[in-house]
Amino acid sequence: MTSETKKTLFTPFNIFAGIVLLIGAYLTVMRFTGGLAAVTNLDDNNPWGIWIGFDLLCGVALAAGGFTTSAAVYIFGMKKYHSAVRPAILTAFLGYALVVFALHYDVGRPWRLPYPIFLQPGTTSLLYEVGLCVFLYLTVLAIEYSVAALEWLGLKKLRSLVHKLTLLLTIFGVVLSTLHQSSLGALYLIAPSKLHPLWYSTYLPIQFFVSAIAVGLSMVIFEGTLSHKPFHHKMDATFLAEHDGVILGFARGASMVLACYLAIKIIALGADNNWKYLVSGWGAWYLFEILGFVALPSLLYAIGSRERNIKLIKWTAALTVFGVVLNRFNVSLVAFNWQLPSAQRYFPSWGEIGVSVFVVVVGILVFRFIVTRMPIFYEHPEYKDAH
């Protein structure tokens, strides 16, 4: 091994990732030998913790860029955004794969995960619908992503066959995403006495779905921003030429979707007549969420797209991503069991946080491995203009 290779391998990120992987391996052994109690603060009052609030709810929402980008390009014919499709599909595929991976830590008997789908379908359960849709959509994303992998492997005939299914897969993916993105919000409709009235609403399913579209568009911008410098050498002229256009177009779309989301939040507040809670401490936190991370990003996106301010749009994308993560945390953790004494409230253990960081780092490493080898940010020379 040359000194240049050693220098390349021992970068700050690689050292950090190596430490996280070692800690993650240790926590994995602890979890699967000592059970949930060995690494979590979960109990009967708080059976769902950060592994659901972050790894599942946030993971599924942040992976929404796949269906939003595919729908824009293949259903609505916005071909000028085609360069964003493969990075968005890859991010979505890894996002959903990591959601399933993380679920193995949260479920008491993870080897029984396939049972509800294949052996004991609980068709009257909302969780069954969520599980089935996630399973099917992960399959769809795997097939959509496989086009890039097949090009890399040189399997031309199989690649051509899969490519012909693009429109069908896109439509199926949009339907599945609509179902399970909204159903994740519907899961909390059975807990009106546990979730604070400012966050509890019969509009939760549509709020989850609309906010997922907003964060999906924002994640395309955010992921593109993070990838631009480290993977610039992998981006072809077409990708670089369309980069600013994708950012501006997605910013306009995100601004309008966030405005709709804000309107739905206000309508829900009025429909349940929960105005009185706005003058409480919980009300201040609620206003912080919807004004700082819904209304403000909508305005900033509009200003950024109007003035073609790419830098402002990129910061706004990060703000929107954080806002949706905050909303999912509020619904699943912060405002959940809000009436319990502080001593009985849930707070994640270091082991739970460590596993979540481990899952994220695994996703980043796999993403880096794929984009440095496969045609994600560029068109394969043998398939130029094949879309």
Q: Domains in the chain, please, with CATH? A: 54-340+350-380 (1.20.1630.10)
Question: pLDDT value at position 381?
Answer: 81
3-state secondary structure 157-195: HHHHHHHCCHHHHHHHHHHHHHHHHHHHHHHHHHCCCCE
For residue 268, which phi and psi values (nearest 5 degrees)? -65, -40
Q: What is the DSSP letter of 236?
A: -
In 3-state terms, what secondary structure has residue 258?
Answer: helix
Q: What pLDDT, in 10s, does the model give residues 336-377?
A: 999 888 888 899 999 999 999 999 999 999 999 999 999 999
Question: 325 vs 197, 220, 286, CA distance in Å?
Answer: 19, 16, 14
Residues 6+ apart with CB under 8 A from 105: 28, 31, 51, 55, 355
Cα distance between residue 51 and residue 120, in whole Å: 24
Residue with tokens 């968005």: 88
> Which tokens in the block code for residue 81?
């955004």
Q: What pLDDT, in 10s, does the model give residues 227-281?
A: 998 999 999 888 999 999 999 999 999 999 999 999 999 999 999 999 999 999 9
Question: pLDDT value at position 123?
Answer: 72
Residue 312 Cα to chain centre, angstroms: 22
* Average pLDDT for 101-128: 84
* Average pLDDT for 89-117: 91
Residue 62's pLDDT band (cuts 50, 70, 90): very high
Q: What is the DSSP letter of 56?
A: I
Question: pLDDT value at position 382?
Answer: 76
Cα distance between residue 286 and residue 291, in whole Å: 8
Query: Sign of the C-alpha dihedral, residues 226, 231, 235, 240?
Result: positive
Q: What pLDDT, in 10s, does the model give residues 154-170?
A: 999 999 999 999 999 99
Question: pLDDT value at position 120?
Answer: 74
Residue 127 predicted with pLDDT over 90: no
> Which tokens in the block code for residue 353?
């946080």
Q: What pLDDT, in 10s, does the model give residues 18-36?
A: 999 999 999 999 999 999 9
Residue 122 predicted with pLDDT over 90: no
Question: pLDDT value at position 386?
Answer: 57
Question: pLDDT value at position 111?
Answer: 87
* Average pLDDT for 281-309: 97
> Which tokens in the block code for residue 379?
């068109």
Highest mean pLDDT among 41-55, 158-172, 288-302, 335-349: 288-302
**Type of residue at 317:** A
Residue 7 predicted with pLDDT over 70: no
Q: What pLDDT, in 10s, does the model give residues 71-93?
A: 999 999 999 999 999 999 999 99
Among the residue ranges 115-124, 186-195, 310-319, the one predicted with the least confidence is 115-124
Question: pLDDT value at position 2?
Answer: 43
Residue 115 predicted with pLDDT over 90: no
- The percent of residues above 70 in pLDDT, for the chain, comes to 97
Tell me the CB-side half-sphere exposure of residue 81, using CA atoms within 13 A.
Answer: 26
